[in-house]
Amino acid sequence: MSQRPIYLDAHATTPMDQRVLEAMLPYFIESFGNPSTNTHVYGWEASAAVKNAREKIAKIINATPAEIVFTSGATEANNLAIKGVAEAYFNQGKHIITVATEHRAVLDPCAYLATLGFEVTYLPVQSDGLLDLETLLAAIREDTILVSVMAANNEIGVLQPLAEIGAICHQRGVLFHSDAAQAIAKIPLDVSAMNIDLMSLTAHKIYGPKGIGALYVRRRDPKVKLAAQIQGGGQEKGRRSGTLYTPQIVGFAKALEIGESEMETESARLLQLKQQLWSMFESLGGIHLNGNFAQSLHNNLNISIEGVNGSALLLGLQSVVAVSSGSACSAESTAPSHVLTALGRDEKLAQASLRFGLGRFNTPEEIATVGKTAIATIKSLRQANG
- Please name the helix (run of DSSP H) or strand (run of DSSP E) that holds residue 71, with its range, or none: strand 68-71
Q: Which residues contact 91 (CB under 8 A, 6 or more apart)?
A: none
- Spatial distance between the Cα atoms of 38 and 248, rounded to a whole number of angstroms: 20
How many other β-carbons are positioned within 10 Å of the β-carbon of residue 208?
Answer: 29
- Spatial distance between the Cα atoms of 51 and 249, rounded to a whole number of angstroms: 10
- Spatial distance between the Cα atoms of 383 and 305, rounded to a whole number of angstroms: 14
How many other β-carbons are positioned within 10 Å of the β-carbon of residue 241?
Answer: 14
Look at residue 300 and give its three-state secondary structure: strand
- Spatial distance between the Cα atoms of 8 and 322, rounded to a whole number of angstroms: 6
Q: Given the residues 193, 268, 329, 376, select the one marked as catalytic.
A: 329
Please report how the helices 104-114 and 74-89 are oriented relative to each other, as an axis angle in degrees rounded to 10.
30
**How many residues are recorded in the chain?**
386
Task: Report whether 319 contacts 6 (CB < 8 A).
Answer: no
Task: Report whether 352 contacts 309 (CB < 8 A).
Answer: yes
Q: Is 329 an annotated catalytic residue?
A: yes
- Spatial distance between the Cα atoms of 355 and 310, rounded to a whole number of angstroms: 12
CB contact burial 18-44 (16+ within 10 A = b; e otherwise): eebeebbeebeeebebebeeeeeeebe
Exposed / middle / buried, residue 293 (Cβ in 10 Å: 0-12, 13-18, 19+)? middle
Hey, which residues are catalytic here?
329
